[in-house]
Amino acid sequence: MPLKNSLKLVEGVQKFYARFEKHLAEKAFNGKNISTDKMDEDQVANYDLAWIAAEIFAIHEMIAYPEKVGKSAGSIEENLSLFFIADALHDILNRLRSAAHGLGVSGEEFEREIQAKALFDFIHEYSSEKFAKKITDQLSDNKNFGDYGLTDDQAMMADTFRKFAEGQVKPIAEKVHRGDLTIPDSVIDGLSEMGCFGLSIADTYGGFQSETAPDHTSMAVVTEELSRGSVGVAGSLITRPEIVAKAISAGGTEEQKQKWLPLLASGEKKCAVAVTEPDFGSDVAGMKVAAVKVDGGWKINGVKTWCTFAGMADVMLVLVRTNPDMSLKHKGLSILLAEKPPTREHEFDHTQKEGGRVHGKAISTIGYRGMHSYEVVFEDYFVPDENLVGGEAGLGKGFYLQMAGFAGGRLQTAARATGVMQAAIEKALQYAIDRKIFGKPVIHYGINHHKVAKMCAITQAVRQMTYKSARLMDKHEGAMEASLVKFYACRIAEWVTREALQIHGGMGYAEEYEVSRLFVDARVFSIFEGAEEVLALRVIARELLSRAMGLKAS
């Protein structure tokens, strides 16, 4: 079978990739650990290393995909898998060819090691226009984009939230986007009634996540379906509750868990996350927003930015420096839960009875509207001791607690990207079928066969990567896989939505068509929940190089 043959080809590529990885690891090793400074001398190579790792992860999931969902040879599932594998291998080979030169490996040696003849035969056959046409013919006939591989319960959940997205989200998505409006209460209340905000919270604290048999896939499924309707109106609503809930679950006191988790799960209290600072984006170690100990609590001073949903939030998770010694870097940070009155306005200003003040203003953005991201200023803003996550034991642990929440946030971001890509594909395919140019439908042109097939194959690959990462997270594993799929999905979503817009031609550039919103919404994915370059170089590549040297990443 061609999929089994592809596995042998991938093994050869992986061997050379391991050689590349070891080479970069040895260059970055300082005799004790992996040096960030040394890694920074090879940033482009390390970025490629991370990207190839993500593509290899995707390839393995697509090799397993058709059999996992019980589909036979010639099915849309197998064809999408073959196309994706061929296309991804082509990209990997281009990157490794450059790496080979850096390793001092001749072109002949490189081609011999990777079995170039067999690889290029496979790539030529399964990423061709002819093979792409087989896929687009199947898609045009029945609009079947491939089995997702869900359990009956997960499929029912997907159907339920798809109907909600179709009935409640899509009809208002364009209005919210063009008018830069705030998400209406009807959407928030509807999702609250459906238990949406409790999907990542343990059932012992009022949520729907089983502590004994967790199911992160369902959370990903819900996120995808809501994002297919609109990532700004609905797809991101459960991300912040998950980040905050996981931080509290990981390090909060029992009293804090008993108080906050049920309130978040029910939707009674809405939340935001205040981590990023104007001068310190992903550089958490350098953050300066400080909290000073006072009688009965703490006073926060400083500016946080890109605080999504801060206006509507009743409480903000604020990462603050509770130890003024900057040499401690991230070990001087803690988490405070700062409460405030919610508002639907683009600006807010609240003064406490103690005299502290918090005020914020929404930042104008090209997409991802509805949630609104704010710059928030704290001026002697008082937070009681009971809202220091973890109490005294939580001092200096804020970075680690925040990261406990962000691993799930990365998984959700991949699911959000999948939903946006799926919506873009559906729009592009229908337009390509309906629109005629030079006497025949747009879908009948070879370049569009290739585009549509690639868009569908990529989206299914990201979906399967996301589900695999979710299953690993059920076992308290998968942090690396969540980082890989977030990195890959968010960058590739820009390409998918770009091509969907391109298929629409001039109409794609008009706000009249939904695909223009999908394009600008997709652009944010590579920025939030860990900027693309930081994720690639400081998280993924560092971990890969550490593993290559038999070390544990620090």
Q: What residues are labeled active site?
A: 529
CA 311 → CA 364, 376, 518, distances in Å?
Answer: 14, 10, 24
| Cα–Cα distance, 115 to 109 (Å, whole number) | 10
**Chain centre distance of CA 350:** 33
DSSP H helical ranges for 165-294: 170-179, 185-193, 216-229, 239-251, 254-266
Residues 58-74: b if buried by 16+ CB within 10 A, e if exposed: bbbbbbbbbeebebeee
Sign of the alpha-carbon torsion through 381, 387, 391, 394: negative
Residue partners of 396: CB distance under 8 A and separation at least 6: 322, 323, 328, 331, 332, 333, 334
The secondary structure of 123-152, three-state, reads HHHHCCHHHHHHHHHHHHHHCCCCCCCCCH
Residue 211 tokens read as: 């502590």
| Region at 287 (left for phi over 0; alpha for psi -120 to 50; beta for the rest) | beta
Nearest to 411 by CA among 475, 335, 490, 313: 490
| Cα–Cα distance, 219 to 46 (Å, whole number) | 32
